Amino acid sequence: MNPATVITGALLSQVLLGVLMFVAASIMRAHQSRTAMFRGEPIQSEYSWLILTLLLVSVATLVLAHSMSSLWVGLFQNTTFSGVPDRAATLIVFLINIAITTVLVASTGGSAHSPFQPIFFLIPTLAILLFESSFRVIVYAAIVGVCFIYLLVQAAPLHEAHRRAAKKAYGFVSIASLAIAVLIGLLTRICPSGMC
């Protein structure tokens, strides 16, 4: 497998994951009452900055990866910087994904109620599809498992005012996670000639 294909697939998955998170956060925000604060209902935080941080750091890390250096190497002609090693770039991106997903799930009802919960299980799947080593996939899955169980045990009940929005956002995130996994799998799979 060409390393540039893997990094490009990771870049595409990051953009799609960011869009998925942003749409789900927008669904949650759209169903929040403007007078919620005055009625004692919990206020949904604005998650856009967190999602924007995910996108900017992960996309920058992947664009600066060694495999993508042909796009920007002219900017650094008089230096020895040849890019972030591909393996380090994907490690950074997956750890950022896990951290931000954990914060989003914790902020929106925990593993039992959060619409962002399906992203937990998308992360190790994307790692497999993007040819991460077996050891890394196991480490990502273990971290995700611990975060999921912790947030399941520590989950605070979701306020009644947010349940309808959470249900819609959960449906969107679940189906979009499936679509992203299938898309990245199809784009990065290796097939013998004439088999696919």
3-state secondary structure 12-49: HHHHHHHHHHHHHHHHHHHCCCCCCCCCCCCCCCCCHH
Confirm if 123 and 94 have CB atoms less than 8 A apart: yes
What is the percent of the chain with per-residue pLDDT over 70, rounded to a whole number?
82
3-state SS, one letter per residue, for 67-117: HHHHHCHHHHCCCCCCCECHHHHHHHHHHHHHHHHHHHHHHCCHHHHCCCH
Say which range, 18-27, 102-111, 149-158, has the weakest mean pLDDT.
Answer: 149-158
| Main-chain phi, psi angles of 105, to 5 degrees | -65, -45
Q: How confident is residue 139, by pLDDT bands cut at 50, 70 and 90?
A: very high
SS3 171: helix
Q: Which neighbouring-strand residues pair with 84?
A: 65
Q: Tell me the one-letter amino acid at 26.
A: S
